[in-house]
Amino acid sequence: MRTDTLFYRLFQEFPGIFFELIDRQYNEARNYEFTSVELKQTAFRMDGVFVPKSDVTRQPVYFVEVQFQLDLSFYRRLFAEVFLYLRQNPGVNLWRVVVIYPNRSVEADDLATYQELIDSQRVRRIYLNELGETTSLGIGIVQLIVEREETAVERARRLILQTREEIEDAATTREILELIETILLYKLTQLSREELAEMLGLIDDEFRQTRMYQSIKQEGLEEGKQEGKQEAKLEAVPRLLALGLTVEQIAEALDLSIAQVQSIAESQSS
Q: How far is CA 270 from the centre of its chain?
A: 39
| Nearest one of 66, 36, 41, 39 to 51, comparing CA atoms | 36
Q: What is the CA radius of gyration of the chain?
A: 23
Q: Please say whether the beta carbons of 37 and 85 come within 8 A.
A: yes
Q: What does the pLDDT read at residue 209?
A: 57
Instruction: State the number of CA atoms in the 13 A half-sphere of 207 facing the CB.
Output: 23
Q: Tell which wins on pLDDT, 59 or 206.
A: 59
| Nearest one of 106, 169, 171, 173 to 137, comparing CA atoms | 173
Residues 3-39 pLDDT 10s: 778 888 889 889 999 999 999 999 999 999 998 887 7
At residue 126 the predicted structure's pLDDT band, cuts being 50, 70 and 90, is very high
Domains of the chain: 3-146 (3.40.1350), 211-269 (no CATH)
At residue 83 the predicted structure's pLDDT band, cuts being 50, 70 and 90, is very high
Report the pLDDT averaged over residues 41-59.
78
Report the pLDDT averaged over residues 141-151.
89
Rounded CA separation 157/165 (Å):
12
Q: Tell which wins on pLDDT, 94 or 259.
A: 94
Residues 93-121 pLDDT 10s: 899 999 999 999 999 887 888 999 999 99
Report the pLDDT averaged over residues 64-70.
90
Residues 203-220 pLDDT 10s: 555 555 555 555 545 555
154, amino acid identity:
E
- Is pTM beyond 0.75? Reply is no
